[in-house]
Amino acid sequence: MSSISETLPSLLRLARGLALVAWLAALVAPCGAAEDQTIVPSPGDYKMVEVVLEKGHPQQGDLVLRGGIRDGKLMVPNSLSVRLKAGELVFTTDAVKGEFGWRRPDKTQNQGPADAVIHQYTVDAKIAGGAITGTWKSPDGTRSGSVSGSVKTEKELQAANAFTKGKDWPYYHGPLSSFGATPCGLTLATDPQDFRLVWKSEDLMPCGQGNGCHYLPGMLMCRTIGGGASPVVSADGKVYVNYIQPAGTVSNIEKRYGKSANALADLEKLAAEWNSELGPGVREKFLLHADDVIVCIDAVTGKTLWKTVFAEKGRYQQGHKIGPVNNTPCLGDGKVFAMGSLGRVYALDAQTGKPLWEVPNITRVTLNSAEGLNRFHGNSPVYVDGVVVMGNQADTLHGFDANTGKELWKLPGKSRSLAVPSLWKHQGKDYIISMDGGSHAPTTKIFCIEPKSGKVLWETDYKGGSKGVSVSGDILVGLTFSVKGEPEKDPECVAWRMTPEKAERIWTTTVNAKPELSAPAVNDQYVVVGHASPNPGEMQFLDLKTGKVLATAQGPGPGNEGHIFIVENLVFASCDGSHGGNNFGVYGATQETFKLLGSWSPPHHHTNSYHCKCMVFPVVEGRLFMRGFDGIHCYDLRKKE
């Protein structure tokens, strides 16, 4: 038995040329037409399901399928694209049955024919009291095992996962511009094994470029990627994220691989050697255009509330280092603001998904023969005092009227593509903290800007980290390096006390952290920095007011694009933001408890952004929201009563 979604009959192979391209375009278009649309799912009978095929994973243990359903069917996505079906499981009142083909979908680019094997499964199980029990087997009978799992109703999810505090995470770096959650007075579990997965989103979204590949062999093995944006969360319990999907009919394979006159022939030859096909999951990776997609998810249940598709208004590139950018959205004034993959700025009604205004591309994007698309690393907006402030993926900071999209001001040389502007509130007034450096130039200045007018109130010298700075009250904290030595050999954590007139340096502390990593995590008392090396790494716990190192801890620390964030009584260190995994060191968040409490590898298929701004993981009232390989996952971190 072979999977139709993974292989095509020989008549549909490359020889069909334009006919196959047209068929692909029809297949991947959201509703068959290149028109913007807001999709609101029908109510249905929503449930959250998890099905565990024990010893079903071809390489490692159990194979787990999970997600939200409202029509009784759980789609199993193709290994090469979340839009293509490899099969499905059908849920009735008392049973779950189905067939699907599965192959591990994130193999690296140089692995070969063995990874093209598609494993087939047939599931036959019963449902009683919300528990799933049964069996699975391969069609040829050579493999089999037991099935377990659960079905949770929408009512059950609402009872167990309700939000009460009205807190939010409306920006990339959190509500306080500090990589810290707003305290709710909660006690979180100190053993990571007690963190509980609540739901995986109903919406199937593509993975981040940390799992992708732009080499020809990888096109046959890796799933189509969709950018590296992080989710944000509103105070009324909604999760928002934006991503991109390849669209249209125009292929850019020769532009992408212009150095090879026969790139398509080379790919076809390799596919033949690997007994694979150039089907739609491969071909969509070479489409030139992209749909910019913004989705709204219920934070309690994971169900899709609406999804707005801006048809073919973006550009696509299947790559990793300089591929689809990390343009995390922001929230404010009842609206969602986001930058698309081609630099277009969108504003939508946060409740309905209705588009309110757009600004044409504000960034610099060019086509070239080698890669097909040359872009910078991306930026994310912030909302402050009726103004949407965002960089243009290069060096210019823009201010737009949040109600109309009218450009109020722009400041060349006052933005860095990897650094989201920070917010500073002082005596009832709001300010923007930004930095220079463009896309590749070194950072030399930090600026304080009045959001309404764009007036620069002060600037201060800054020779350091490219990922932004953190704010706590009137104290600004960043990672820099001194003039004594080389950047990676002489990092320092630096703090300034800010007024509307100036920033005055108040302390400098030598630390074990590379300055190109994300900004330090801070709260109203402490600063936390760290590094992954030496192995084990070292984490440092500093006093916010003096910079004194209060405690150190050995254990996992942030390495390649990792970051640190503080939540209630815990500190999380994301170890690697570039290579497809989400692994954390978990530490106590006071001087007395600052030690390694445990390591955490969340039990879902991981993803991340790869050498862009790292993906971040909002935490609101003890619930953590993490983008995974094909959707958002919600974890309950709260200590059980």
Is residue 179 pLDDT above 70, yes or no?
A: yes
pTM for the model stands at 0.92
Of 607, 560, 209, nearest to 378 by C-alpha is 209
pLDDT of amino acid 145 = 96
Alpha carbon distance 34, 102 (integer Å): 31
Which pair of tokens denotes residue 627? Answer: 């983008």
CA 65 to chain centre: 20
What are residue 219's phi and psi, to 5 degrees? -65, -25
Check pLDDT > 60 for residue 604: yes
At residue 218 the predicted structure's pLDDT band, cuts being 50, 70 and 90, is confident
Q: Write the CB contacts of 602 (distance below 8 Å, at least 6 apart in sequence).
A: 195, 197, 582, 626, 628, 633, 635
Q: Does an H or E element contain 40, and which? A: none
CA dist 554 and 536 (Å) reads: 6
Q: What is the pLDDT of residue 486?
A: 56
Query: In the predicted model, is pLDDT for residue 29 greater than 70?
Result: no
Token representation of residue 271: 């596919």
**Helix/strand/coil percent split, the chain, to 5:** 10, 40, 50
CA distances from 181 to 270, 566, 623 (A): 48, 7, 10
How big is the CA angle at 464 (ends 459 and 469), to the nearest 5 degrees? 65
Quick: pLDDT tens for 348-370. 999 999 999 999 888 765 544 34
CA–CA gap between residue 207 and residue 220 (Å, rounded): 16
For residues 614-630, give the mean pLDDT: 95
Q: In angstroms, rounded to a whole number, what is the distance separating the alpha carbons of residues 418 and 612? A: 7
pLDDT at 484 over 70: no
**How would DSSP label each residue in 323-340?**
SS-----EEETTEEEEE-
Structural tokens at position 169: 């995470």
Burial of 407 (0-12, 13-18, 19+ CB in 10 A): middle
Q: What is the pLDDT of residues 183-204, one digit of tens each?
A: 999 999 999 999 999 999 999 9
Which two structure tokens, joined as six digits, stand for 104? 């591990």
Check: CB of residue 129 under 8 Å from CB of residue 108: no
What would the two tokens of residue 491 be?
């990092």
**CA–CA separation, 393 and 361 (whole Å):** 11
Flag whether pLDDT at 13 surpasses 50: no
How many whole angstroms separate alpha carbon 588 and alpha carbon 187?
A: 11
Residue whose tokens read 């009218």? 406
Q: What is the pLDDT of residues 376-409, one digit of tens each?
A: 556 899 999 999 999 987 789 999 999 999 999 9
Start-to-end CA span in the chain (Å): 49
What the chain holds in terms of domains, given with CATH numbers, is 30-160 (2.40.160)
314 and 339 Cβ atoms separated by less than 8 Å: no
Give the strand pairing for 63-69 and 73-77.
unpaired
| Dihedral sign, Cα of residue 600, residue 179, residue 207, residue 240 | positive
pLDDT tens digit sequence for 299-341: 999 999 999 999 999 888 776 555 556 889 999 999 999 999 8
CA 10-15-19 angle, 5° bins: 95
Q: Which amino acid is at 83?
A: R
Q: Residue 384's pLDDT is what? A: 97
Residue 231: phi, psi to the nearest 5? -75, 160
**pLDDT in the model for residue 483:** 53
* Six token digits for residue 557: 């620390």
φ/ψ of 10, rounded to 5, equals -60, -30
By three-state DSSP, how is residue 54 classified?
Answer: coil
Q: Do residues 69 and 41 lie in contact, with contact meaning Cβ atoms separated by under 8 Å? A: no
Average pLDDT estimate for 468-474: 95
Q: CA 185, 190, 196, 202 torsion: positive or negative?
A: positive
CB 532 within 8 A of CB 556: yes
> At a CB cut-off of 8 Å and minimum separation 6, what does 159 contact?
none
Structure tokens at 76: 């199993």
Of residues 432, 419, 534, the one with CA closest to residue 478: 419
CB atoms within 10 A of CB 22: 12
